[in-house]
Structure 1
Amino acid sequence: MKRTIPILVAAGVLGATLTGVGPASAATSPIDCTAGGYTRVVNSYVPTNVERPAIDGRTYNIGGPSAYTYEICLDIPDNERFTIEVRSWTNTVPSTFVDDRPGDKIFRFSLPPDSFWQVYGTLTGPGSTYIYYTWHEKRLPN
């Protein structure tokens, strides 16, 4: 009898754990990244609550003699907050663009000629979790 009780207790706890898992939020974002004509798409994941570089799939970006403007559509799980920080350097002068709105978002950032930049991201969420995101990108004419 002593051996059956722990098994029954474990089965009861496991059953409670499995029934406690529910579907994600029913709310959907009004932003549709697939309709924007984006020319580059990166599917990746990020650990929560940790700043991570290269979330755009590139370690560093190097621009040429022209100025660039990028439009990004970021598809993340509903009700999450993914803070994006674009750090650029031109002639050793740093500049930063930050967008920390929650949920899916569309944003633009411009870079001067002869600059290089890196994109960092921090997804705020439950600890020790990896959350998937999709980065849609296109370069706009200047």
Structure 2
Amino acid sequence: MKRTVSALVAGVLGATLLGTAPASAATSDVDCAARDDYTWVRNSYVPTNVERPAIDGRSYNIGGPYTYTYEICLDIPDEASKFAIEVRIYNNGAWSTFTDDRPGDKIFTYTLPPDSFWQVYGTLTGPASTYLYYTWYEKRTLS
């Protein structure tokens, strides 16, 4: 037991001194900042565990006569477990919803029909009573 504990402490201490994470630490393979094709970047913060509107930086979105596809790359802090996104779309008298609640940093896309109105909501799950920063990378393409 002593030998196991000593090896564990030495491994963690060595990783700390070298600036690396222990082998069991989860890392994200999504690197939003490495890509240069996003046309809009928003750095913001949100309280944890509360649904908030306008996390994309816009209170209301109104589309034109074309169909657009949005690609979003979302960079969340390591302290957060997930940022659940819900896009509520109104078009031709009916509501539809796009939802992505996968954990960690992620890339997702949604397509809007012509003449749509939409709002983007989000809930960042993390430590209670905390504000955490996130970065929203976005690009829009004509579909």
Determine if the TM-score, normalized by the shorter chain, exceeds 0.5. Answer: yes
Provide the rounded CA distance (Å) in 1 between the counterparts of 2:141 and 2:67. 10
Which residues of structure 1 form unaligned runs of 5+? 1-24
Structure label with greater radius of gyration: 1
Secondary structure of the equivalent of 1:65?
A: coil
TM-score normalised by the chain length of structure 2: 0.79
- Aligned ranges for residues 112-131 of structure 1 at < 5 Å? 112-131=113-132
Q: Which residue of 1 aligns with 2:38?
A: 38
- Aligned ranges for residues 49-64 of structure 1 at < 5 Å? 49-64=49-64
Which residues of structure 2 form unaligned runs of 5+? 1-20
Provide the rounded CA distance (Å) in 2 between the counterparts of 1:42 and 1:92. 31
Shift of 1:125: 1.3
Q: Which residue of 2 aligns with 1:91?
A: 92
Provide the rounded CA distance (Å) in 2 between the counterparts of 1:62 and 1:38. 20
- Aligned ranges for residues 3-82 of structure 1 at < 5 Å? 27-36=26-35, 37-78=37-78, 80-82=81-83
Conserved in 1, the CA contact under 8 Å of 2:72 and 2:137?
Answer: yes
Q: Which amino acid aligns with 1:81?
A: K
Percent of matched pairs sharing the same residue: 74
